[in-house]
Amino acid sequence: MIIQFGQALHNYFYDVFVAKFDFWLAFGLVAQLFFTARFLVQWIASERAGNSVVPMAFWFCSMGGGLMTLVYGVVKREPVIILGQALATIIYIRNIMLIIKNRGRTSKTLER
């Protein structure tokens, strides 16, 4: 039973990541990595500052990864991805606009 489960799991991952590998799968994986990098950026900035901060790079990683994931969702016709990333991307862009607008004032976002 365990061997059959292992074989089924292997076949599943082979089908998903190898047999169906194409440009759009690679694009989607890069988009997800770009999007996930925002957490690494935020963690490093917080460690350097000694408290929790959200650097400007976090919002750019969010926007870039979100837009790329939205494109992937549109091409692959994935309604869950399209709806989730369309709204989120608007929020990321709005946050960047607010940060730029208030650049001269005290902001919770680091400029790095």
Q: What is the pTM of this model?
A: 0.76
- % of residues, the chain, pLDDT over 70: 92
List the beta strands (DSSP E) in the chain.
Answer: 54-55, 109-110
Write out the DSSP string of 74-101: HHHT-HHHHHHHHHHHHHHHHHHHHHHH
pLDDT tens readout for residues 29-75: 999 999 999 999 999 999 999 999 999 999 999 999 999 999 999 99
- The predicted structure's pLDDT at residue 63: 93
pLDDT score of 91: 93
Other Cβ atoms within 10 Å of 59 Cβ, number: 23
